[in-house]
Structure 1
Amino acid sequence: MNTLIKLEIVRTLRNRKFMFFSVLYPGLLFLIITAGADKTKKLDGVDLTLVAYYMVAMAAFGAMTAVLMGNAERIAQEREKGWVRQLRLTALPGRGYVTAKIASAATVSLPSILIVLILGATVKQVHLAAWQWVAIAFSTWAGSMVFAALGVAIGYLATVDVARPISMLCYFVLAMLGGLWVPFTTFPHWLQTLAGYLPGRAYAALGQSIEFGDAPHAKDITVLVCYLLVFAGGAAWLYRKDTRKA
């Protein structure tokens, strides 16, 4: 399993186009969204400035983009080309395959998170304590594993033709309801309640609670852990049951 993890990481790093889009795009988007924004003006209903809010949101957005979009389509292609069939002929368990895919995705998500945070600190002059910077980076990176597992599951459920549309639909819905594009406080109350039980909102809330100087809420962590178990377990089960190419 360790060999496969190393192979997956190397393959990911060699994909220059994917690395450029996944690593640099979120940072550029953060600069565009906050261009001309008042660095001291706070959002209505939230004791955070617009710049600080979108810094965490775009860090989460970048990680989600890297792990979800990349995994789903790539796995669907591997199934079609027969690479997964070769792995199935080995003693590799389903959990090993899923772990390798999540590990390779995490390789991409961490640099994209760090770039957004560095831009926030240097270009946008967001001021936080040292422990907050570290905690935001770590929690955002760790939380992205949920979406990496979802990407693996989609890659096994869908063919190459539909893997991208399905992953994009999941991605946009989760990002929108998570408050990554529009401040969460602008949602009606019923939608805020619904979104609170979805992984996108729980994911964004990790970094935002740290910005307030608090630890991530137990509810958000519980929601993410539950979804991680469901997605990773489902992906491992689909790996074992997939016989189309075997």
Structure 2
Amino acid sequence: MSALIRPTPARPTPSEPGAARQKPDAAATAAPARAALVLAHSKAQILEQLRIPVAVISSTVFPTLALLFFVIPQESVTADPLASLTAIAQLALFGVMSSFLFNYGIGIAEERANPWSSYLRTLPVGPVPPTIARALPAMLFAFFALLPVLVIGALLTAAPEAFGDGGLSWWRVPLAVLVWLACGLPFLALGLFIGYLCTSKVAVAVTQVVFFPMAFAGGMMLPPAAFPYWLDVFSLILPSRAARDVSVFALSGEGLHAGSVLCLIVWTVLLGGLALWANRRDQGRHFR
């Protein structure tokens, strides 16, 4: 009888190796799970964009067409290496700004009216993975919009003469691409603010009304040197002018004002706060 009674094995104490294997580390599993969610949402966003190729092509080609139609015919600009670099930087930022502002301002407003997107927002995923997943495709398509601008600028303007013997280093080109994408962050936040605050029909009108005056006053269509004095002074407080000056400086090494970087940071924080407020406001109205 005593042979049938076996002693119960002792449970491992926290100091023993078995205790550490009883419960998986939550922090170790959370990061891969969140990365998988970001990749899944990003793939869905890219496929959704590719289902409407006209929108992708238009946003990608529009800055290049602006360069061909408005800059290349001006021999006084294309013959000057510095003026060519300035025009390329302005139109490159123009493409990034339009991609971020329209992708978020109109895209999020349309998703809010979509029952499937509303259902996704009720899932216990949190706002971070979907937001990052929307930012990655936007940056990807904005990057594709920058490539033809750089190629056309290198082939049809005197911009390459500014490098090498011209005094500038070639590392400024990849640096400028990164700076252009970073300078689009306040417009990304502005798009979020419009998308969460407006309906889909209103968002289209508001985005267009905000985009074109801000792009013009920021010096992306016309150099600030051609502005009247009052417009030049007024434009210095706009995020588009600050982003334009930083973008031009990244590529050409000139054109940066003393307060441009600070102005860009302040606008990014301010618009980011407004976007967060609009997101929470919309979340509270629909899911409480």
- Give the TM-score, by structure 1 length: 0.87
Unaligned runs of 5+ in 2: 1-36, 164-168
Percentage of identical aligned residues: 27
Which structure has more RCO (C-alpha within 8 Å, separation ≥ 6)? 1
Q: Note if 1:207 corresponds to 2:247.
A: yes
Which of 277, 280, 285 aligns to 1:237? It is 277
Q: Note if 1:72 corresponds to 2:72.
A: no
Distance 1:212 1:125 in 2: 13
Q: What is residue 121 of structure 1 aligned with on the other side? A: 154
Q: Note if 1:52 corresponds to 2:70.
A: no
Q: 1:181 to 1:215 in 2, by over 3 A?
A: closer
Output the amino acid matched with 2:185. Answer: M
Which of 53, 69, 82 aligns to 1:16? It is 53
- Are 1:106 and 1:141, in contact at CA under 8 Å, matched by a contact in 2? yes
How far residue 150 of structure 1 moved from its aligned partner, in angstroms, is: 1.1
Q: What is residue 133 of structure 2 aligned with on the other side? A: 100
Distance 1:90 1:20 in 2: 33
Q: Deviations over 1:100-130 (max 9, x none)?
A: 3222211111111121011101222412331
Which of 260, 263, 267 aligns to 1:227? It is 267
Q: What is residue 42 of structure 2 aligned with on the other side? A: 5
Distance 2:45 2:276 in 1: 17
How many correspondences in the alignment? 240
Q: Note if 1:34 corresponds to 2:74.
A: no
Q: 1:92 to 1:218 in 2, by over 3 A?
A: farther
SS in 1 for 2:280: helix
Which of 55, 59, 62 aligns to 1:25? It is 62
Q: What is residue 45 of structure 1 aligned with on the other side? A: none
Q: 1:198 to 1:171 in 2, by over 3 A?
A: same
Q: Cα RMSD (Å) of the superposition?
A: 2.3
How far residue 245 of structure 1 moved from its aligned partner, in angstroms, is: 4.1
Q: Note if 1:91 corresponds to 2:124.
A: yes
Output the amino acid matched with 2:122. Answer: L
Tell me which stretches of 4 or more aligned residues in structure 1 moved more than 4 Å: 214-218
- Are 1:67 and 1:151, in contact at CA under 8 Å, matched by a contact in 2? yes
